[in-house]
Amino acid sequence: MAAIKDGDYVSYNRLFMRYYGRLCRYVFGMLENREDSEDAVQELFLNLWDNRGKIEIRENVSGYLFKMAKNITLNHLRSAKNYQAMLENQDKADSYYEDNPLEADEFRMALYDCIGRLPERSREVFLLHRVKGYRQKDISEKLSVSVKTIKNQIWTSLQKLRKCLESKGI
For residue 17, is pLDDT > 90? yes
> Mind listing the pLDDT tens digit for each residue in 136-148?
888 999 999 888 8
For residue 60, is pLDDT > 80? yes
For residue 27, is pLDDT > 70? yes
| Average of per-residue pLDDT across 10-35 | 89
Which position has the higher pLDDT, 81 or 97? Answer: 81
Global model pTM greater than 0.85: no
Q: Is 140 exposed, middle or buried (0-12, 13-18, 19+ CB in 10 A)?
A: buried
| Residue closest to 42 by CA, chosen among 29, 23, 62 | 23
